[in-house]
Structure 1
């Protein structure tokens, strides 16, 4: 039986090819395919031609120039990739092929799963909690930047700072921003910035890139250094859609390095405008207070002033009088105490006086002549306190309350 067309006519090769092309493009307008790149060829037009293959089949593919410009890597033979696109037919050869719209390296799904697991684990530790995040300083004097020395990110930051507030100091901590060693180096630069001192805020980031390029900013060592930083940190990884784990850990996330500079360095004109506004507000308040004081003073008569003065003076006068009375009373009490002590001292002296003792019937016995030069200073001998200091024939003087008797010792008895 002869093959027939849907309308019963005979199809030309072109017509058949067109039918197949339309059918494929309608049925397979968007699909994802994973395979190995083979036979890569970059045409002078900028279009990329290659084949996708696996162990059992091969399909031709083309990626047009404007799509190639979005690639984050250079496709090479042997790379395993996941592509997204549609099926079509190239009529001159009657060959079906895949029109590629986007391409990424294979294994991204595994990477995303790893990142998601890491994110959940670090979140359970509280590293992403909003409560631990700090506000940025209003007017930082010095800004630290952790990024590549040669990348566009640092240049963009400098341009914004010069335009908005040229008085801000900037200190670069150069680092790799992609590759296997980038994560450890970024973390080391954050530690270095904290060890220097004098830095008010720290910008950590890069100027965009693919998800694979951003992976160093999702490494655990970077997240922990951001959380441990004593300096407030702004993450500026440069990607509007994809968030790195550094974005979740930072005190503030900016979509680009330029936006980070905008956030951290307030415009000088804005600051001057706020100062002027506060000055005007202050002047208005002072003027209102002065007007109120003048009005109150104008309504204040002399009689009112005297009455007000007396009301203020009376309590003070009363307190002064009371203090004077209390002072006089304390002085009198002090004088009485001193007089009493003087009387007691005088009485004690009187009782201890030798004359008082003699009047009670006692007498004082002295040698008639001095026994030493020291005793002779006053022309009489020393007081005799015991009989053993005398002998028969010793001359003595006996003093009474009234008068003195000279005598000679006839006998000594102890």
Structure 2
């Protein structure tokens, strides 16, 4: 086919060749249907949608212009599997081919998001994302650690912001691979190293933005568990604000970007100084007010006023003592009178019951010869000798 369009000695310019390729592709691959998974989704402020369609082995750039995107019945996102209808075209300024989509519908969830969702639910059921596990981020750390790529933009942003906010805070970098098959084990090793040697007070774990595939290491189960088990408080800072990873849920704090993580981890030195200055002024003001109050109180004291104050304090106590003394004396007098009256009544009762008193009334006591008191006629036999005891003396008699 190409031999019919040009001869072997034809010399093309880059523009003419690109135009020829564009014409051939657009004429032969118009209105095709393509199925794949969305990756690197980038909606434009003008309303155009830019992303990549991919499967296990290949990928192609895709664009859906605002007029067609307005009729979508779902919100596109990374990892979503879609079926698109459109035309293959060439973007001449870059020489890239792409599909211009006129129609797009969902073809089911992408494998990656489905796997991550299942993993998220399983780890959440174990309690790895529980709020009870979260540790507070230290307010005034002296050292913070960063587990990330030593050459990435994320580290540069963190170092720059830390230096600007508080140069006194030391940053220790735990270099890790953050993309690819070796990334997850590398991240886990560095988190464990930071904990084993207890080198820092706060640990930032993250990287800059990327596609879902680029951020996958931070959703690996081993990384999530390492973050959850870290004794050092962890700030997760993976990608941009719209990006997410499972370690975000396990971390003690999730920052939308690495720069935001640095702002959370490192307090603003100027704010600290302003707060301390404010506290100092408030403390000095309170102390000064207390001292002035004490000076006024001391100034009012002199020997005469001190004696008067003492008398004023002493007088109520003296009055209470005198009243207590009087009350005690009155109570003792009343008690003594009650006891004397009781004793008089007891003596009167005892005297009334005394044999002598009874005999003085004219009664006599009769005894037999053997000294037994006679209480009844039956106690006496005829002719028995009796002794009669009136109030005074004794009378001898014989029973008749």
Q: Spell out, residue by residue over 1:326-368, the C-alpha distance to the aligned partner (whole angstroms, 9 max, x if none).
A: xxxxxxxxxxxxxxxxxxxxxxxxxxxxxxxxxxxxxxxxxxx
How many residue pairs align between the two structures? 255
1:306 deviates by 3.7
Residue 156 of structure 1 pairs with residue 157 of structure 2: yes
Matched residue, 1:359: none
Mapped contact 1:153–1:207 kept (Cα < 8 A): yes
Q: Spell out, residue by residue over 1:241-260, the C-alpha distance to the aligned partner (whole angstroms, 9 max, x if none).
A: 23211111111111111111
Matched residue, 1:203: 204
Separation in structure 2 between the aligned mates of residue 144 and residue 265 of structure 1, nearest angstrom: 11
Matched residue, 1:141: 142
Matched residue, 1:347: none
Matched residue, 1:264: 265
Separation in structure 1 between the aligned mates of residue 152 and residue 140 of structure 2, nearest angstrom: 26
Matched residue, 2:193: 192
Mapped contact 1:146–1:190 kept (Cα < 8 A): yes
Residue 180 of structure 1 pairs with residue 159 of structure 2: no
Separation in structure 1 between the aligned mates of residue 306 and residue 239 of structure 2, nearest angstrom: 72
Mapped contact 2:209–2:243 kept (Cα < 8 A): no
Separation in structure 2 between the aligned mates of residue 102 and residue 281 of structure 1, nearest angstrom: 67
Separation in structure 1 between the aligned mates of residue 131 and residue 198 of structure 2, nearest angstrom: 25
Assess, with a 3 A threshold, how the Cα gap between structure 1 residues 181 and 102 changes in structure 2: closer, same or farther: farther
Separation in structure 2 between the aligned mates of residue 268 and residue 165 of structure 1, nearest angstrom: 5
Separation in structure 1 between the aligned mates of residue 210 and residue 103 of structure 2, nearest angstrom: 15
Separation in structure 1 between the aligned mates of residue 292 and residue 102 of structure 2, nearest angstrom: 74
Assess, with a 3 A threshold, how the Cα gap between structure 1 residues 122 and 281 changes in structure 2: closer, same or farther: same
Matched residue, 1:79: 58
Aligned structure 1 segments of 4 or more residues deviating by more than 3 angstroms: 57-61, 65-73, 75-78, 80-90, 100-103, 306-312
What is the SS of the residue equivalent to 1:170? strand
Separation in structure 2 between the aligned mates of residue 188 and residue 69 of structure 1, nearest angstrom: 39
1:101 deviates by 9.3
Matched residue, 1:325: none
Q: Spell out, residue by residue over 1:130-183, the C-alpha distance to the aligned partner (whole angstroms, 9 max, x if none).
A: 222111111111111000011111111111111111111111111111112211
Separation in structure 2 between the aligned mates of residue 127 and residue 119 of structure 1, nearest angstrom: 10
Greater RCO, 1 or 2 (C-alpha within 8 Å, sep 6+): 2
Separation in structure 2 between the aligned mates of residue 272 and residue 70 of structure 1, nearest angstrom: 47
Separation in structure 1 between the aligned mates of residue 100 and residue 260 of structure 2, nearest angstrom: 36
Separation in structure 2 between the aligned mates of residue 112 and residue 220 of structure 1, nearest angstrom: 14
Separation in structure 2 between the aligned mates of residue 277 and residue 186 of structure 1, nearest angstrom: 42
Mapped contact 2:52–2:59 kept (Cα < 8 A): no
TM-score when normalising by structure 2: 0.55
1:125 deviates by 1.6
Separation in structure 2 between the aligned mates of residue 303 and residue 271 of structure 1, nearest angstrom: 52
Residue 293 of structure 1 pairs with residue 272 of structure 2: no
Mapped contact 1:165–1:266 kept (Cα < 8 A): yes
Residue 254 of structure 1 pairs with residue 255 of structure 2: yes
Matched residue, 2:113: 112
Assess, with a 3 A threshold, how the Cα gap between structure 1 residues 309 and 43 changes in structure 2: closer, same or farther: farther
Mapped contact 2:120–2:246 kept (Cα < 8 A): yes
1:197 deviates by 1.7
Separation in structure 1 between the aligned mates of residue 195 and residue 240 of structure 2, nearest angstrom: 26
Assess, with a 3 A threshold, how the Cα gap between structure 1 residues 107 and 155 changes in structure 2: closer, same or farther: farther
Assess, with a 3 A threshold, how the Cα gap between structure 1 residues 116 and 69 changes in structure 2: closer, same or farther: closer
Mapped contact 2:141–2:266 kept (Cα < 8 A): yes
Matched residue, 2:169: 168
RMSD between superposed Cα atoms in Å: 4.2
1:82 deviates by 10
Matched residue, 1:35: none
Q: Spell out, residue by residue over 1:89-108, the C-alpha distance to the aligned partner (whole angstroms, 9 max, x if none).
A: 89xxxxxx9514999xx996
Matched residue, 1:320: none
Matched residue, 1:125: 126
Assess, with a 3 A threshold, how the Cα gap between structure 1 residues 230 and 60 changes in structure 2: closer, same or farther: closer
What is the SS of the residue equivalent to 2:121? helix
Matched residue, 2:281: 280
What is the SS of the residue equivalent to 2:213? coil
1:76 deviates by 10
1:298 deviates by 2.8
Separation in structure 1 between the aligned mates of residue 260 and residue 157 of structure 2, nearest angstrom: 9
What is the SS of the residue equivalent to 1:247? helix
1:83 deviates by 5.8
